Amino acid sequence: MTKQNFSKTRLLAYFCSGLLCCFIWTEIVHAQTCDPIFAEVDGLVVAQIESAPLVDDWVLSSQWIPPVGHSTPPDPGSEYYVWNGPDLFSSPGSGILTYTINIQNPQLLTYNFRIRNYHGDPDSTEANDVFVSVKDAAGVIVNPSVCLPGDTHFGDEWIKVFSSTAHAWNWASSHECSGSSKHSAKYQLSQGTYTLRLSGRSHGFAMDRFHLYVNGHADAQNPDVAETLAPCDDPPPDPDDPTDDDLEDDSSSGGEDGEGDTSSTPQADSDTDSASLQDATQAIMTTQSCGTVTVPNGKSSKFETMLLFFLLVSLLFSLRRQYRS
C-alpha cells in the first residue's frame, strides 16, 4: 500500500471510530434525557420539584443555610428546592420552574393543587409562598377555580399560593385571589397538555413536590408516591396536530427506505483504492453522521442500531485487511 493510500485509509478508520462513538453517545443521551411530561393517572399528577432544572436563585437543599432564627427543615427523603433570592412580593417572573402536565381524562374535573412545602420563619405568615401560573396548550391562562370574576387577581398570569403551616413539611396550599378571598388551591382541567410554572416570591420558602388530584384519591398527599412521568419515547398525542395520525405510517416507510439505503452502503475490501474509499466515506456521511443521527420519537429502533453497528465493524475489518495487504 502506498503512503498516500495508507494515510487516507487511516483517516477513514479514525472517522468511522469517531462515528461509532458519536452514535453510541447519542443513544445514551436520548435514552436518559427528555423533557419530562407529568401525566395524570387515575386522577393524580405527581411531580418532584427538582425535576425542573435549577434557575436563578433557587438552590438545592444541600446548599441551603437557613437564616438566623429560622428552623431547619427535616430531611423529607429527597432533595428539594429553596428560594434563596430576595422577597419579590410584587414582581413575579423570576426563577421560573416549568413543568409540563398532560391530563388524560376527557371530563372537566376539579383538581386540588398542593405543594409539599416548608417554611421556618418564626412568623408563620412570612417566607411561606410562591407564585404559580397555569396555561393550556394554546397559551391561555387557566384561572384557579376558586378565583371568581371580581377578585383582584382573577385573570392574572401569576397567582400567589401560600402555606399557613410552619416548621413542618406540610401540604397547605391556598390561592390568594384577593386580600379577602383566600381558598384551598384548585384548578378545573380537562384532557390536554398544560404548562405549570412556579416563580420565586418569598426568601426561604422550600418545596419538595406538588400534586394535582381529584377528591378522594388514595395517594392525594402521599409523599412517597412515585412521579407520574410519561415515557420519554411515548409522548402524549397532540389533538391539534393533524400530522400525529400519520407518524406511524411515515416512520414505517422511512425505516424501510433506511434499510435499503444502509444495506447498499459501499464497504472497502482488499482491492479498494483511494477513490472507492472516498466514495464509502461520502456514502456513510450521507447515511449517518454524528450531528444528524436519526432518532425517531427520541430513540432508534434496536434493528437500526444493530445494523449500523454491524456496518461500522465490517468496514473497520475491511480497512484492517487492506492495511495488512
Contact between 147 and 181 (Cβ < 8 Å)? yes
User: What CA–CA distance (Å, rounded) separates 61 from 78?
Assistant: 9
**CB hemisphere CA count around 298 (13 angstroms):** 14
User: What CA–CA distance (Å, rounded) separates 309 from 252?
Assistant: 21
Q: What is the DSSP string of 168-210?
A: S-B---EEEEETTEEEE-EEEE-SEEEEEEEE--STT-EEEEE
Q: For the whole prediction, is pTM greater than 0.85?
A: no
User: What CA–CA distance (Å, rounded) separates 305 from 296?
Assistant: 12
User: What CA–CA distance (Å, rounded) separates 129 from 263?
Assistant: 60
Contact between 231 and 112 (Cβ < 8 Å)? no
**CB hemisphere CA count around 224 (13 angstroms):** 1
Per-residue pLDDT of the chain (325 residues; tens, 9 = 90+): 565 565 666 666 666 666 665 555 555 544 446 789 999 999 999 999 999 999 999 999 989 999 999 999 998 888 999 999 999 999 999 999 999 999 999 999 999 999 999 999 999 999 999 999 999 999 999 999 999 999 999 999 999 999 999 999 999 999 999 999 999 999 999 999 999 999 999 999 999 999 999 999 999 999 999 999 998 765 555 555 555 444 344 333 333 333 333 334 444 444 444 444 455 444 433 333 343 333 333 334 455 566 677 777 777 777 666 666 6
Contact between 153 and 199 (Cβ < 8 Å)? no
User: What CA–CA distance (Å, rounded) separates 221 from 104?
Assistant: 20
Using N-to-C axis directions, what is the helix angle for 3-32 and 274-287, rounded to 10°? Answer: 10
